[in-house]
Amino acid sequence: MKKLYFLLVALCFVLSAAATEMPRALRIKSGAQRVAASAPVTLPATDVTAEGFTANWKAVPGTETYSVLVYEPGTAATAGTYVILKETFDLVSMGTTIDPYFPDDAFVELSAYDWTYTPDWQGFWPVFSRGMVGGMIYSPYIDLVNDGGKFTVTMNVVGTAGGQVVLTSTGSDGSKEKATFNLTQSGTNTFTHTFTNGCHDTFLTFVDNGILNDPEGEYMNVYDFLDDITVTQELKAGDATLRLVGTAETGLTHQSFATLPYRYGATKLAYDVQANILIPGPDYPEDEYDYEVEHSPYSALEYVTLESGKDPDDPENPDDPTPVDPGLKDGKLYVGNFENPQDADIEAGTWWNRAPYQWYTKYSGSQFIYTADMLKGLKAGDKIKGVTFKYQDQGSFAALETELSLVIQNTEKTEFEKKQDTEKYEWIPVNFSDAILLDYAAELYYMTTEEIEFEFGEEHALVYDGQSIALTCWSENLGEEVSAVASVVKYGTLKSTMVFGSDTKTFQDVYETGFNEPYMTPEKFVPVAKFTVETSSGIKEISVGDGEMKAEYFNLQGQRVENPTTGCYIRRTGTDVEKVFIK
């Protein structure tokens, strides 16, 4: 395992670090990797909740530590090219190409900074520029056993003409394949390479070698940065896949994964375990670095399904003392723990993947679906005249200044669907001209709760048709970027939320491509909400002739129609609402 005994050997690495690639195992020895005789035997997971579980296994004699990997299993529906891993590093928020950020520590877990969309990225003496990483960077473990271990990596590198970067693929048997790329232009350079040593725990190492022809040292402080990286593989229909969602190393025979922020709502998970056995050399322990490590084979996968019965939004959950989804009361419709959110509502997911808005990037956007079972008490014909969302400041101080937009509409969809023959998800069609606009500014302090309220007015009020409601929200940040303010959410069971963020692209830019980016897969966190509702007596089915009509008319998406023509509409007169067909 790449992290094994890092604390023991970190000082030695610091003293002996060179410009050449460091072993991913982060061990002082680099001899042959021997394999222990027996793999650990996994046991069923315990402490299973809606958010996580405890992994268990039997002890392997002589083991120093165990490495545990948690995955979301999947299956290729059809044959084709699949994105196995994509990371944009858009969440890196410090440094520039001229003035990079250098962490104080030699070894950095990027996930500790919330700087990646995928887990387990690491750096050794890394450097950072906003939205990019440099130095020596290690990818997560990637399961690439399909297609005989053949896979393709495409990466964009931002740097200076004459620079050189190296990308190495390391397999579990220690086999290495290396590709060297020379930057031919200053700015962005795109490189693609196909490797053939993919295995269950492949990892990639990116190394910036700098400007090679620099006898005067003119470019000593110039760096080449990895801007984004994509790993693809050809899969057959039915091929099994494993998406890494968590890792840990322990000397015990159990490991708690109470929360798994990178599972993005996945409930069907699996884990396996590897034993690591220290083999002392002749000078050990006097020479504390004189050792090698045996790695056992991985255990069989142990599958676990997170329990919906422990969902923090489940009203029968005894750990949640507050009413959940109280429904419609006094003209207000509540979704989730709006009035008194619990820790699970605030901490579920991470700040950058929760709708409706986030202020870490200049532009953000989201679409999310409230299904009929979330809208308890709301009936067809009721008019929705406003919505309020709730946020909490999880940092010390945050000043928000932003332009917010929102469109609300009826939809028959209950979750997002994949575009045919792709791994991308389609947006729900929306008319941006129907947007409700809000200039918003606020100052928040640590643990301050903030509400953002939209009033629709008669022009934008939605007449509910009895199915689902979709909201499309987007923002442009006018002030400083803020990562510590996160929406309060409700954990659902359907993939009903998609979120977007960028410093260069607006939400409309991405929406016009027709579907979301492959790494922005739907999640199960919908915002808690308070809707303002004007109730009606329900919808009746009738047919109307050509006579005079004195009423409000709405299309089936709930938008007002001033001059209805032939077709089906919702007609509202006072509190009476009818579905009518105009001939």
Q: Give the span between the Cα atoms of 31 and 39, in whole angstroms.
A: 21
Long-range contact set of residues 20-26: C-beta below 8 Å, sequence gap at least 24: 21/136, 21/166, 21/168, 21/205, 21/207, 22/124, 22/136, 22/205, 24/138, 24/170, 24/203, 24/205, 25/1, 25/293, 26/2, 26/107, 26/124
CA end-to-end distance (rounded Å), the chain: 71
State phi, psi for 351 to the nearest 5 degrees: -60, -30
Contact in structure between 506 and 476 (CB atoms under 8 Å): yes
Instruction: Dump pLDDT digits (tens) for 87-145.
Output: 989 888 888 888 899 998 888 988 878 888 889 999 999 999 988 999 999 999 999 99
Quote the pLDDT of residue 234: 94
Residues 6+ apart with CB under 8 A from 271: 42, 45, 55, 68, 69, 70, 71, 301, 302, 304
What 3-state DSSP class applies to 492?
Answer: coil
| Full set of structural domains in the chain with CATH | 34-76+239-310 (2.60.40.10), 80-235 (2.60.120.260), 312-534 (no CATH), 539-582 (no CATH)
Q: What is the pLDDT along the chain (583 residues), one digit of tens a residue?
A: 443 433 333 334 333 333 333 333 333 223 335 565 689 999 999 999 999 999 999 999 888 899 999 999 988 888 888 989 999 898 888 888 888 999 988 889 888 788 888 899 999 999 999 889 999 999 999 999 999 999 999 999 999 999 999 999 998 667 899 999 999 999 999 999 999 999 999 999 999 998 887 777 777 788 999 999 999 999 999 999 999 999 999 999 999 999 898 887 788 999 999 998 877 777 766 766 666 778 889 999 999 999 864 433 333 333 333 345 567 888 899 998 888 776 666 655 555 667 899 888 889 999 999 999 899 899 988 999 999 999 887 766 788 899 999 999 999 999 988 877 777 788 999 999 999 999 999 888 766 788 999 999 888 999 999 999 999 999 999 988 777 788 888 877 788 998 888 888 899 888 887 766 655 778 888 999 999 999 875 544 434 444 444 677 777 666 667 777 777 777 776 656 666 767 6
Q: Give the span between the Cα atoms of 553 and 571, in whole angstroms.
A: 5
Quote the pLDDT of residue 452: 94
Q: Give the span between the Cα atoms of 570 and 555, in whole angstroms.
A: 6
Q: Give the span between the Cα atoms of 533 and 383, in whole angstroms.
A: 6
